[in-house]
Structure 1
Amino acid sequence: MSHTPWIIYGAAGTTGTLIAEEAIRRGHQPLLAGRSAESLASLGKRLGLPWMAVGLDEPSRLQRAVSDVDAVLNAAGPFIATAPPLVEACLAAGTHYLDLAGEIPALQHLFARDQAARARNIALIGGVGFGVVASNGLVTYVADQLPGATTLELVVKANNQQTSQGATKSVLQGLAGGGRVYRNGHLVPIRLGKGLKAFRFPDGTFDILPVPSGDLEAAYRATGIANITAFIPFRRSAAFLLPLVQWGLSLRPIHGWLEAVVEKRGTRQRESLAGGQRTSYAWARAMNQNGQQVEAWLELGEGYHFTAASSVQAVEHVLRDHPSGALTRFCPDDRGGTAMVRSSSRASLTGEHTMKKLEVSTNSLHPSHRRSDATSPRSISRLESIRLGGTEQWIRIQGKDTSNPALLLIQQGPGLPILNEAADDNKQWHLEEDFVVVYWDQRACGKSFNRTIPPQSMTIEQLITDTHELIQALAQRFNTTHLYVTGFSFGATIALLTASRHPEHIRAVVGVDPDVQFDVAERVAYDFALEQATRRRNNRALRELRRIGPPPHLNSKSFGTRAKWVTNFGGANRQATYPRLLLKTLRQLVLSRDYSLSDIVGTLRGIGFTQDQLLPDLADLDLFQMLPRLDVPVFLLQGRHDYVAPPTIAEQYYQTLHAPKGKQLIWFDESAHMPQYEEPGKFRQTLLTIKQHCEVDSAQEDRGSCMHGNDKGES
Structure 2
Amino acid sequence: MAAILMIYGCGSVGMRTARLAKEAGVEPVMGGRDAVRVAAAAGSLGLEWRTSTATDADALSRLLQGARVLVNAAGPFRRTAPALARACLRNGCHYVDVSNELATFRDAWSLDAEAQGAGVALVPGAGFATAVVEGLASHVLDRIPDADTVTIVRSSPGAVRSEGARRTASDLLAAGNWRVRDGVLAPGPNRIADFELPEGRRSAVPIGSGEMFAVAQSTGVRNVAAYFTTRTGPVISRLAVPLARTLARAGSFGPPRAGRQGTGRLGAGSGQGPAPAPSMIWVEAKNHRGAAEAGWVHGHGTDTTAVIALELAQRLGASRLSGFRTSGQLLGADYTLCLPGLRLTDF
Normalised-by-shorter TM-score class:
0.7 to 0.9
User: In the alignment, is residue 229 of structure 1 matched against residue 225 of structure 2?
Assistant: yes
Query: What is the alpha-carbon distance in structure 2 between the residues aligned to residue 332 and residue 358 of structure 1?
Result: 20
Counterparts of 1:432-581 in structure 2, within 5 Å, are none
How far residue 335 of structure 1 moved from its aligned partner, in angstroms, is 8.9
Which stretches in structure 1 are left out of the alignment for 5+ residues? Answer: 340-351, 362-715
Amino acid in structure 2 at the alignment position of 1:195: I
Q: Deviations over 1:499-553 (max 9, x none)?
A: xxxxxxxxxxxxxxxxxxxxxxxxxxxxxxxxxxxxxxxxxxxxxxxxxxxxxxx
- Over residues 650-693 of structure 1, what are the superposed CA-to-partner deviations in whole Å (9 max), with x where a residue is unaligned? xxxxxxxxxxxxxxxxxxxxxxxxxxxxxxxxxxxxxxxxxxxx
1:358 aligns with 2:344: yes
What amino acid maps onto 2:99 in structure 1? A
- TM-score relative to the length of structure 1: 0.44
1:98-247 aligned at under 5 Å gives the runs: 98-158=96-156, 162-192=160-190, 194-201=191-198, 203-234=199-230, 235-236=232-233, 237-247=236-246
Matched letter for residue 297 of structure 2: L
Letter in 1 for 2:46: G
Question: Is the aligned partner of 1:279 residue 2:278?
Answer: yes
- Take 1:179 and 1:227, find their aligned partners in 2: how far apart are those partners? 14
Corresponding residue for residue 248 of structure 2: 249
Given that residues 141 and 331 in structure 1 are in contact (C-alpha distance below 8 angstroms), is that contact kept between their aligned partners in structure 2?
Answer: no
Give the superposition deviation at 1:231. Answer: 1.8
Match of 1:296 in 2: 295
**Any conservation in 1 of the 2:123–2:326 contact (CA below 8 Å)?**
yes
Whole-Å Cα distance in 1 between the matches of residues 215 and 332 of structure 2?
A: 20
Distance 1:290 1:198, change over 3 A: closer
SS at match of 1:312: helix
Q: How many residues align?
A: 335
| CA 1:317–1:78: 2 relative to 1, 3 Å | same
Counterpart-to-counterpart distance in 2, 1:175 and 1:85: 23
Query: Could you say which residue in structure 2 is the equivalent of 1:328?
Result: 326
RMSD: 2.8
Amino acid in the other structure paired with 2:242: P
1:277, distance to aligned residue in structure 2 (A): 8.3
Instruction: Give the stretch that moved more between structures: 219-228 or 95-104.
Output: 219-228
Deviation for aligned residue 1:220: 1.0
Return the offset for 1:55. Answer: 0.7
Q: 1:18 to 1:250 in 2, by over 3 A?
A: same
Q: Is the 8 A contact 1:135 1:215 kept in 2?
A: yes
Q: Provide, for residues 413-457 of structure 1, a one-character-per-residue CA deviation record: whole Å limited to 9, x for no partner.
A: xxxxxxxxxxxxxxxxxxxxxxxxxxxxxxxxxxxxxxxxxxxxx
Structure-1 separation of matches of 2:188 and 2:313: 36
1:4 touches 1:28 (CA, 8 Å); kept in 2?
no
TM-score between the two structures when normalised by the length of structure 2: 0.87
Mapped contact 1:137–1:338 kept (Cα < 8 A): yes
**Counterpart residue type for residue 232 of structure 1:** F
| Counterpart-to-counterpart distance in 2, 1:109 and 1:247 | 24
d(CA) in 1 for partners of 2:117 and 2:107? 17
Deviation at 1:111, TM superposition (A): 0.8
Q: Give the CA deviation at 1:133.
A: 1.2
| Rounded Cα–Cα distance in structure 1 between residues aligned with 2:237 and 2:261 | 24
Mapped to 1, the partners of 2:273 and 2:146 lie a distance apart of 44
- Residue 7 of structure 1 corresponds to 6
**Alpha-carbon distance in structure 1 between the residues aligned to 2:163 and 2:188:** 26
**Equivalent of 1:47 in 40, 45, 48:** 45
* Aligned equivalents of 2:208, 2:42: Cα separation in 1: 36
Segments ≥4 residues shifted beyond 6 Å: 273-277, 331-335
Q: Report the secondary structure of 2:318's partner residue.
A: helix
CA contact (8 A) 2:34 2:51 kept: yes
Q: Compared with structure 1, are the counterparts of its residues 277 and 189 closer, same or farther at alpha carbon in structure 2 (3 Å cutoff)?
A: closer
CA deviation digits over 1:132-179, x for unaligned, max 9? 011100112223433332111122224568532122222222222221
Shift of 1:329: 5.1
TM-superposed deviation, 1:324: 1.2
Partner SS state of residue 33, structure 1? strand
Greater relative contact order (Cα < 8 A, sep 6+)? 2
CA distance in 2, matches of 1:158, 1:289: 30
User: Could you tell me whether the CA contact under 8 Å between 1:15 and 1:75 is conserved in 2?
Assistant: yes
Correspondence 1:388-399 to 2 at 5 A: none
Whole-Å Cα distance in 2 between the matches of residues 38 and 334 of structure 1?
A: 38
CA shift for structure 1 position 200:
2.2
| Offset of residue 186 of structure 1 | 2.3
Checking the alignment, whether the CA contact within 8 Å between 1:336 and 1:355 is kept in structure 2 is no
Q: Secondary structure at the match of 1:321?
A: coil
Matched to 2:225, the amino acid is: T
Q: Indicate how the Cα distance of structure 1 residues 316 and 332 shifts in structure 2: closer, same or farther if over 3 A, else same.
A: closer
Take 1:103 and 1:14, find their aligned partners in 2: how far apart are those partners? Answer: 18
Which letter does structure 1 place at the counterpart of 2:196?
Answer: F
Taking structure 1 as reference, are residues 233 and 331 closer, same or farther at Cα in structure 2, changes over 3 Å only?
farther
Deviations 1:37-66 (A, max 9, x none): 111111122110111121111111102221
Distance (Å, rounded) in 2 between the aligned partners of 1:275 and 1:68 = 32
For the structure 1 residues 224 and 329, does the alpha-carbon distance in structure 2 shift closer, same or farther, using more than 3 Å as the test?
A: farther
Deviation sequence 1:122-141 (CA, Å, 0-9, x none): 11001001110111001122
Distance verdict in 2 for CA 1:9–1:171, change over 3 Å? same
Separation of aligned partners in 2, 1:195 and 1:274: 25
Change (3 A) 1:335 1:355: farther
- How big is the shift at 1:14? 2.7
State the 1:79 CA deviation. 1.2
Question: Between Structure 1 and Structure 2, whose CA radius of gyration is higher?
Answer: 1
2:94 is the alignment partner of 1:96: yes
Structure with the higher helix share, 1 or 2: 1
What CA distance in whole angstroms lies between the structure 2 residues aligned with 1:32 and 1:162? 24
Structure 1 residues 95 and 23: CA distance shift in structure 2, 3 A: same
Percent identity between matched residues is 27
Contact kept? 2:12, 2:273, Cα under 8 Å: no
